[in-house]
A and B are shown apart, each in its own frame.
Chain A
Amino acid sequence: DVKVTQSSRYLVKRTGEKVFLECVQDMDHENMFWYRQDPGLGLRLIYFSYDVKMKEKGDIPEGYSVSREKKERFSLILESASTNQTSMYLCASSTTGQFYEQYFGPGTRLTVT
């Protein structure tokens, strides 16, 4: 059974703080993804990674960076948190190939005040 876990369910940070969100998967998946979910906007891809130390920008990378030093772990970094980054952040993983399911983590509800 695939498990994708995220470091926090709820997080409150102040404007300007550096924020780290961590995601861990236990299925040896090559691909990992970070999305943000906002009402009426669906799931928007921030960054994805198809291998260790490899990363690709998604559709909304501005204000974010990522790190993947180990295959099972993919971190999302908010360099200087802003209020417009208040959102639900979802991590996902999948095996290599186009037609495979993405398995999502439980999400982190981030509030920036």
Chain B
Amino acid sequence: GENVEQHPSTLSVQEGDSAVIKCTYSDSASNYFPWYKQELGKRPQLIIDIRSNVGEKKDQRIAVTLNKTAKHFSLHITETQPEDSAVYFCAASPSEYGNKLVFGAGTILRVKS
């Protein structure tokens, strides 16, 4: 089955700097890669996603890149702000399992002001 590894487990950046979180997946059949953000004490929420036929997607200060050959994808946050502090989860969805997601272990991002 699918296995998703996420690095780093914790990341501290200065406000205004960029942050990058990386994930690798094992199942070449996976074709959908969402990212969820979970603020302290709150539920996870989708912030951006990418499908396997696209190499990069941007939404304001966040972007996701996908390298299908290497089976890895990354989340990029530019101009970080204190409200970006949260736990970020990457996930992969093998196409044959419909909407099932396999999540990474999560990255705790701390933005220091």
A residues sitting closer than 8 Å to B (CB atoms) are 4, 31, 33, 35, 40-45, 48, 50, 56, 58-59, 90, 94, 96-102, 104-107
Tell me the complex Cα distance, A104–B95, Å.
21
B31's nearest neighbour on chain A, judged by CB, is A98
Cβ-defined contact, B95 with A98, below 8 A: yes
- Cα-based distance from A90 to B95 in the complex (angstroms): 23
> How near does chain B come to A7, taking the closest CB pair, in angstroms?
15
Count of chain B residues near A, Cβ 8 A:
25
- Tell which of B1, B34, B93, B106 touches A59, judged by Cβ atoms closer than 8 Å: B1
Residues of the B chain whose Cβ atoms lie less than 8 Å from the Cβ of A96: 98-99
CA distance A31 to B44 in the complex (A): 17
Q: Do A99 and B32 touch (CB < 8 A)?
A: yes
Of the candidates A42, A58, A105, A106, which one forms a contact with B105 in the assembled complex, judged by CB atoms under 8 Å apart? A42
Question: Is B43 a contact of A107 with CB atoms below 8 Å?
Answer: yes
| Chain B residues in 8 Å Cβ range of A42 | 6, 89, 103-106
Given known contacts A35-B103, A99-B49, what 17 new A-B pairs fall within 8 Å (CB)? Answer: A4-B43, A42-B89, A42-B103, A42-B104, A45-B102, A50-B99, A56-B100, A59-B102, A94-B99, A97-B98, A98-B32, A98-B93, A98-B95, A101-B34, A102-B101, A104-B45, A106-B43
Q: How far, in whole Å, are A98 and B53 apart by their CA atoms in the complex? A: 14
A41 and B103 alpha carbons, distance in the complex (Å): 9
Closest to A58 in B: B100
Q: How far is the CA of A18 from the CA of B32 in the complex (A)?
A: 37
